Amino acid sequence: MLRRLYDWTLSLAARPSAPYALALVSFSESSFFPVPPDVMLVPMMLARPDKAWSYALICTVASVLGGILGYFIGLGLYDSIGAWLFQLYGLTEGAETFRHAYAEYGHWVILLKGLTPIPYKLVTITSGFAGYHLGWFILLSILTRGARFFIVALLMSKFGPKIKSIIDNHFNLVAALAIVTFVGGFVAFRYLF
């Protein structure tokens, strides 16, 4: 199933709608969707290395805009939608601890969490829930999300053919590592905060 998704995403990169689909996934992942944009971003960059930098920019802008939505979910709708999302991911206890961490760590929380496998939507919703300063939240989100996606673009532009060969030859191992990283982000959030 994952192999079909990978092959489908590679074929999607040639379509005119590919950047819109990437933007939609990146936007929604920052506020409510569980799948990270890397699932589309990496195969699209491998299929179209000439567009790696523009794909990184699309992901950054869409992710920050989705993060703003997540912030407002946390700010105004935490008791209903925000709490439901945290409960859905089994992270209700971690959300309270994470909220209190803002008082002590402030900017560092967003900077570090925006670059790690900890799901970014948890950072965005909790930032709103904690009443973190919106201007700082946006600036730090631009820095961390931009760094994350542009580092992927740099790796794909420098090592794209080698990475594609590794993925093609060892797809099951790469997919398993991606899943472990994805699940590990949720586990880290739950047990570290």
Please give the residue range of the domain that contains residue 144: 47-192
Helix or strand (DSSP H, E) at 174: helix 171-192
Could you give the number of structural domains in the chain? 1
pLDDT at 79 over 90: no
Question: Domain for residue 174, yes or no?
Answer: yes
% of the chain residues with pLDDT over 90: 25
Confidence of residue 189 (pLDDT cuts 50, 70, 90): low
Helix or strand (DSSP H, E) at 11: helix 2-12
Burial label, 4 (beta-carbon count in 10 A; 0-12, 13-18, 19+):
exposed
Percent helix, strand and coil across the chain, each to the nearest 5: 85, 0, 15
Whole-number pLDDT of residue 114: 66
Whole-number pLDDT of residue 190: 55
User: How far apart are alpha carbons 22 and 103 in whole angstroms?
Assistant: 34
Min mean pLDDT across 9-13, 17-21, 71-75, 189-193 is at 189-193
Question: Domain for residue 103, yes or no?
Answer: yes
User: How far apart are alpha carbons 127 and 190 in whole angstroms?
Assistant: 16
DSSP per-residue codes, 64-90: HHHHHHHHHHHHHHIIIIIHHHHHHTT
**pLDDT per residue over 106-140, tens digit each?**
688 777 776 666 678 888 887 888 888 899 999 99
Question: Domain for residue 30, yes or no?
Answer: no
